[in-house]
Amino acid sequence: MDILSVPHVTHPGLLIAIGGAEDKTRERIILRYFLEAAGGPDANVVVLATASDVQETGDRYADLFLALRAENVEVLKIDSREEAMEAGPEAHDLLEYATGLFITGGSQLKLSSALGGTEIASTIRRRHAAGMVVAGTSAGAALLSEHMIALGESGATPRRRLVHLAKGLGLAPDLIIDQHFRRRDRLGRLLTALSYNPAPLGIGIDEDTAAIISGDGELSVLGAGAVMVVDASALRFTDSHAIHRGQPVAMMGLKLDFLTTGCRYDLNNRRGIAPPPMLHLSDPMDRRAPERPPVMTEPDEVPVGSEDGGE
């Protein structure tokens, strides 16, 4: 099987949550995978760069997809809530005909405050439910959650008020997605979020890595790093409600899975699925998931506030 082959997309469309700083200059396999999933040469791609303060971000991604031989790429220019509220038929038509939506990085709070409760957000949810592939990198990945990490601090230990949540798009209603995970030391804030509400799964995605979520509830990993899945549904005890601000939070009964390329996770039954033995024993630099291509590494992250920043 060709490493860029993509399984038949069923309804709803694939979600591709990227941890930020994906390769844009060499193999670009995560970007290529998104393009293939959206229809390959026949894809109609829309780039949404609302989160970024860099004006050229949308055009930069459009140029990347065009360089990968996409024929139809448009940038949806919505920079503020006022623009989202006043978006005319042209903006909605772009989404109606899109087979793939790519949401760039920047500030997820800027994204949610601009799009929340608007017709644009409703159209995105409806089109995804009808099969449109949606990818988000960095802040765009966080936005896919129902309970979105809006702000937070670094650190491996969960602490009272380490993280602030806001409502995201809700395309992944049972997940809390965090990004730039290992590079920015974000385990503590993901655990803190789960101490507030242990029901969702916590998903921490490394840079240059993607969590690919199918419509039937399977997550697979694509990339140079890893995806951490934290299941707090069997949490027996937490004192997050009783301690003071900044104090460490006790959490007992957590289940953690650490997934690399080739691993999968059954979101419905909350269990990891190991890769085939031959894949596991192969050269780690040449891993191939059965239906997921690998990805090359990315140079150092760009600063917070640029398109790959993310909160």
112 counts as catalytic: no
Distance in angstroms (rounded) separating the CA atoms of residues 15 and 106: 19
The pLDDT, as a whole number, for residue 308 is 56
Query: Do the bridges between strand 264-266 and strand 15-18 make them parallel or antiparallel, or are there none, so unpaired?
Result: unpaired
Per cent of the chain over pLDDT 90 is 84
Mean pLDDT of 95-113: 97
Distance in angstroms (rounded) separating the CA atoms of residues 253 and 251: 7
In tens, the pLDDT along 23-64 reads 999 999 999 999 999 999 899 999 999 999 998 999 999 999
Catalytic residue, chosen from 22, 74, 207, 301, is 207
Per cent of the chain over pLDDT 70 is 86
At 276, the pLDDT band (50, 70, 90 cuts) reads confident
For the ranges 17-21, 214-218, 298-302, the lowest mean pLDDT is seen at 298-302
Residue by residue, DSSP assigns 103-143 as E--S-HHHHHHHHTTSHHHHHHHHHHHTT-EEEEETHHHHH
Per the CB < 8 A criterion, the answer to whether 38 and 93 are in contact is: no
207 counts as catalytic: yes
Whether the pLDDT of residue 307 is over 90: the answer is no
Distance in angstroms (rounded) separating the CA atoms of residues 108 and 113: 8
Distance in angstroms (rounded) separating the CA atoms of residues 212 and 125: 17
Catalytic residue, chosen from 138, 145, 195, 220, is 138
CATH code for the part of the protein at 15-274? 3.40.50.880
264 C-beta neighbours (distance < 10 Å), count: 21
In tens, the pLDDT along 130-163 reads 999 999 999 999 999 999 999 999 999 999 999 9
Helix (H, G, I), strand (E, B) or coil at 11: coil
Domains of the chain by residue range? 15-274
Task: Measure CA 238 to chain center.
Answer: 28
At 280, the pLDDT band (50, 70, 90 cuts) reads low
113 counts as catalytic: no
Per the CB < 8 A criterion, the answer to whether 111 and 79 are in contact is: no
